[in-house]
């Protein structure tokens, strides 16, 4: 698809100015700003470049003011959010961890396989661009309903799910980096606009951290990797507007993945980084391609570049200058090499059979000069491109409270047949096992993952020189909670991520966030965004953890309107104890099951009420930051003393789902018997989603130590049952007993997603 641009000025004839500006992604005010900054009328080529670089995806013009409210510093932070391609946190002993999350929502809606695959490829390059060797991927996925009785779009949503998962698996498996966990959720608000958020983590020696700066006058500039084509043209601008059906031209905005080139490009770069002084600066060519990488590296160094676009290896003839600059062809890297070390760099790239071509040099004057077809085609200031974009403070309107308040508990009818309801609840797409997804991933490659995916947090074995450390990583978010109350919903998302790290004994090091919202120009949406930022900031300051980076994705809509406000929190922690990590599933018959944090109360905001009665209401489950902090400290203490065999936090689905998962996920096929108090309703005990709670199983000879520690620290701990040798989940409520056989749990929970997908026709039609 060719871009219809040239070096002529903007026409004002026939009243088509606004429409023409829209084609470049510029408003009239932004056009006037550009004219003022240039001191002249811009050419169409310049408007094409600025329209993309000033897009929401590249310059964060509607979110930058709010993002500054997040805490980004800390004693371990080596590279802060926004400074480079990813944040870096110190691990000690000369090593650091690099991690980040990014979205590829719009491309995955239009071309799910390639959209997801290139999302993985982009975050992969962000991590090794920092000098780090990628250790793992995780992903947070959201789709519309896949139950045929809920929507006529079930087949299309299932098609998106299948192909997004296939794209993620394709890229991760090919580059040899394991996908070790993540999350999956469904809601009608994501229909036609899935959320595909991809996380990557790597480790690097502190003295080998790379920077994206074009320093050293006269140093040559190289492009490495794949050839440049017309795929992905204006992909950043495409991600900065609302999807409008399935336009054919949108497919040209989706990049094409080449994981095999991605793998050897990484290998060449990592080998190059081992030799000090060869690489002066490096930047991935992701969103906005060559124009973004040249302008950002030049602006960081307060230098300029002369670039000969005729030297850029291209796949297609007759590409315009702006097409070469804006192409988002994948697996490409911009490198500034020390002028005395060029031969060494060439030798390493030749060894890995990676194309490596000089396209320009660093100059003293702060300007970017692009030459094409033997003459200067474009000249712009990197400061204008990167730092002079408008920054907006948009109107935010708090919604009026509706009458959809939570009904009195006694007005809510309980299930007539608890066994049937529990099995149906376990089989819900929101609740069922994610094994169908992770069995497509090579999660054991590299031998980093200590357990298979599916636990509260992934635990990774990482070798740092002669030392072995254990890291933990998790992704968490709940759009339903944030739809009810974005401020407290965001705090809950941070708290649950930290709780999931604590369940495996990890001390949190930092978080990265992916903020998925609809149109920021809608005052309600922008209020949700601001409240979400406020909640994340407050929770992070309370837990004293920094936000090391992340991503904002606006303009996410389904056919029926805006998506739920969906912040996704990626958290990373360090496991300092050498004691065994508690498992998710029950391990030893006869062990005592203890509920840390108590039974909880209320059903407000629960998945149980939404699924059973269609009630959302305007209240969230009980939650308190102080309770979360105390719970996490005690949990880490118990693990550090080796007192727990298993641990599983309670969140969406409450105690009921946690027990089903603890029985159904185990290879040992052990069950449990649970006794409930009769002074409360059984559905409230089973399905409330109150925070700061975990179920643990404890050897009998360690039970007194667990209870003493909890009492000493002021954390409620209730003995609720024991682990059984029988493969069964038994629930006792007064005279009533409910028994779910392990085979029944496997059929409903473990095979639930498989069963749903097998009933939906695989086709891509809308």
Residue 624 is among the residues annotated as catalytic for this protein: no
Phi-psi region of 375 (alpha: psi -120 to 50; beta: other; left: phi over 0): beta
- Contact present, 634 and 709 (Cβ < 8 Å): yes
Selecting among 104, 170, 372, 448, the annotated active-site residue is 104
Cα 508 from Cα 575, distance rounded (Å): 9
Chain-centre distance of CA 129, in angstroms?
A: 18
Residue with tokens 């899935």: 194
Q: Report CA 222 to chain centroid distance, whole Å.
A: 31
Query: Does the annotation mark 170 as catalytic?
Result: no
Pairing state between β 728-733 and 736-741:
antiparallel
Per-residue tokens: 556: 């996410």
Determine the Cα angle at 654 with ends 616 and 682, to 5°.
Answer: 90
Largest CA distance in the chain: 89
Residue 138, judged by CB atoms within 10 A of its CB (0-12, 13-18, 19+), counts as: buried
Rounded Cα distance between 610 and 603, Å, is 10
What is the distance of C-alpha 573 from the center of its chain? 16
d(CA 515, CA 520): 12
DSSP, residue by residue, 457-484:
SEEEEEEETTEEEEEEEEEE--HHHHHH
Name the H helices within 552-645: 607-613, 625-640
**Residue 709, number of CB atoms within 10 A of its CB:** 16
Q: Is 438 left (phi over 0), alpha (psi -120 to 50) or beta?
A: alpha
CA dihedral 428, 429, 430, 432 (to 10 degrees): 70
Closest Cα partner for 472 from 543, 572, 546, 580?
A: 572
Specify whether the CB–CB gap between 188 and 458 falls below 8 A: no
DSSP string, 584-601: SS--STTPEEEEET-S--
57, 170, 448, 631: the catalytic one is 57
Give the angle 435-439-443 at the CA atoms, nearest 5°: 115
Pairing of strands 179-186, 133-143: parallel
Which residues make Cβ contacts (< 8 Å) with residue 409, sequence separation at least 6? Answer: 602, 603, 681, 684
- Output Rg (C-alpha) for the chain, integer angstroms: 27
- Which tokens sit at 452? 């298979």
Among residues 83, 47, 160, the alpha carbon closest in space to that of 763 is found at 160
Query: How far apart are the C-alpha atoms of 664 and 388, rounded to whole Å?
Result: 55
Sign of CA dihedral 346, 349, 355, 359: negative
Q: Are 136 and 174 in contact (CB under 8 A)?
A: no
The tokens of 328 are what?
């988002």
Pick from 634, 676, 636: which is nearest to 659 by CA? 676
Residue of 601, 638, 599 whose CA lies nearest to 716: 599
Q: Rounded CA gap, 584 and 470, in Å?
A: 17
> What's the length of the chain?
766
> What does the DSSP assignment read for 198-254?
EEEEEEEEGGG-------STT-EEEEEESPB-STTTTHHHHTTS---S--GGGGGGS
The residues, any chain, with a CB within 8 Å of residue 224's CB and separated by 6 or more, are: 265, 268, 269, 332, 333, 335, 349, 354, 355, 356, 357
Which alpha helices (DSSP H) does 274-329 contain, by range?
Answer: 289-301, 321-326
Active site members = 57, 104
């Amino acid at each position: 698809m060719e871009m219809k641009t040239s070096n002529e000025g903007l026409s004002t004839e026939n009243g088509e100015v606004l429409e023409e500006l829209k084609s470049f992604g510029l408003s009239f005010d932004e056009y006037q700003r550009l004219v003022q900054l240039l001191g002249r009328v811009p050419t169409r080529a310049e408007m094409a470049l600025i329209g993309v670089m000033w897009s929401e995806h590249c310059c964060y013009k509607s979110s930058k003011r709010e993002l500054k409210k997040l805490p980004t510093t800390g004693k371990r932070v080596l590279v802060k959010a926004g400074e480079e391609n990813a944040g870096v946190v110190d691990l000690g002993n000369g090593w650091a961890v690099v991690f980040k999350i990014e979205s590829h929502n719009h491309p995955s809606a239009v071309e799910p396989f390639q959209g997801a695959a290139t999302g993985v490829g982009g975050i992969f390059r962000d991590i090794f661009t920092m000098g780090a060797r990628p250790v793992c991927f995780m992903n947070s996925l959201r789709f519309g309903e896949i139950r045929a009785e809920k929507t006529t779009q079930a087949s299309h949503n299932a098609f998106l799910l299948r192909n997004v998962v296939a794209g993620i698996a394709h890229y991760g498996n090919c580059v040899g980096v394991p996908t070790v966990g993540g999350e999956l959720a469904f809601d009608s608000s994501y229909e036609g606009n899935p959320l595909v958020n991809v996380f990557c983590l790597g480790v690097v020696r502190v003295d080998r951290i790379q920077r994206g700066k074009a320093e050293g006058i006269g140093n040559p500039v190289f492009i490495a990797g794949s050839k440049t084509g017309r795929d992905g043209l204006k992909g950043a601008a495409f991600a900065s507007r609302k999807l409008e059906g399935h336009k054919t031209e949108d497919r040209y905005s989706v990049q094409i993945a080449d994981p095999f080139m991605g793998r050897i490009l990484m290998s060449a770069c990592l080998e190059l980084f081992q030799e000090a002084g060869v690489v002066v600066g490096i930047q991935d060519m992701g969103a906005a391609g060559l124009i973004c990488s040249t302008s950002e590296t030049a602006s960081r160094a307060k230098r300029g570049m002369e670039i000969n676009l005729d030297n850029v290896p291209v796949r297609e003839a007759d590409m315009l200058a702006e097409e070469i600059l804006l192409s988002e062809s994948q697996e490409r890297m911009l490198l500034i090499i020390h002028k005395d070390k060029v031969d060494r760099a060439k030798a390493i790239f030749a060894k890995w059979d990676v194309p490596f071509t000089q396209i320009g040099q660093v100059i003293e004057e702060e300007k970017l000069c692009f030459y094409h077809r033997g003459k200067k085609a474009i000249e712009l200031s990197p400061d204008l491109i990167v730092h002079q974009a408008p920054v907006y403070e948009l109107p935010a309107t708090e919604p009026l409270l509706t009458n959809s308040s939570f009904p009195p508990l006694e007005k809510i009818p309980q299930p007539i047949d608890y066994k049937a309801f529990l099995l149906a609840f376990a089989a819900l797409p929101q609740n069922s096992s994610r094994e169908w997804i992770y069995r497509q991933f090579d999660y054991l490659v590299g031998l980093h993952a200590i357990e298979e995916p599916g636990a509260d947090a992934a635990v990774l074995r990482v070798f740092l020189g002669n030392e072995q450390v254990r890291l933990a990583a998790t992704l968490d978010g709940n759009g339903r909670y944030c739809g009810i109350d974005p401020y407290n919903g965001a705090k809950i998302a941070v708290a649950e991520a930290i709780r999931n790290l604590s369940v495996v004994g990890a001390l949190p090091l930092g978080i990265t966030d992916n903020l998925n919202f609809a149109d920021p120009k809608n005052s309600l949406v922008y209020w949700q965004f601001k409240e979400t930022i406020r909640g994340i900031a407050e929770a992070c300051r309370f837990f004293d953890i920094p936000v090391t980076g992340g991503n904002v994705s606006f303009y996410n809509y389904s056919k029926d309107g805006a998506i739920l406000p969906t912040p996704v929190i990626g958290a990373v922690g360090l496991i300092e104890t050498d004691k065994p990590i508690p498992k998710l599933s029950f391990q030893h018959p006869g062990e005592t099951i203890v509920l840390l944090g108590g039974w909880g109360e209320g059903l407000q905001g629960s998945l149980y009420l939404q699924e059973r009665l269609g009630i959302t209401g305007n209240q969230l489950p009980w939650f308190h930051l102080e309770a979360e902090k105390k719970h996490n400290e005690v949990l880490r203490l118990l693990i550090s003393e080796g007192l727990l065999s298993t641990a599983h936090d309670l969140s969406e689905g409450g105690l009921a789902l946690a027990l089903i998962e603890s029985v159904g996920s185990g290879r040992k096929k052990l069950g449990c018997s649970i006794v409930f108090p009769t002074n409360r309703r059984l559905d409230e005990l089973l399905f409330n989603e109150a925070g700061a709670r975990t179920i643990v199983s404890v050897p009998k000879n360690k039970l007194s130590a667990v209870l003493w520690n909890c009492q000493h620290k002021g954390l409620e701990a209730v003995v609720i049952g024991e682990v059984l040798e029988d493969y069964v989940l038994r629930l006792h409520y007064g005279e009533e007993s409910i028994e779910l056989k392990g085979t029944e749990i496997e059929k409903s929970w473990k095979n639930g997603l498989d069963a749903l997908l097998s009933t939906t026709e695989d086709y891509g039609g809308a």
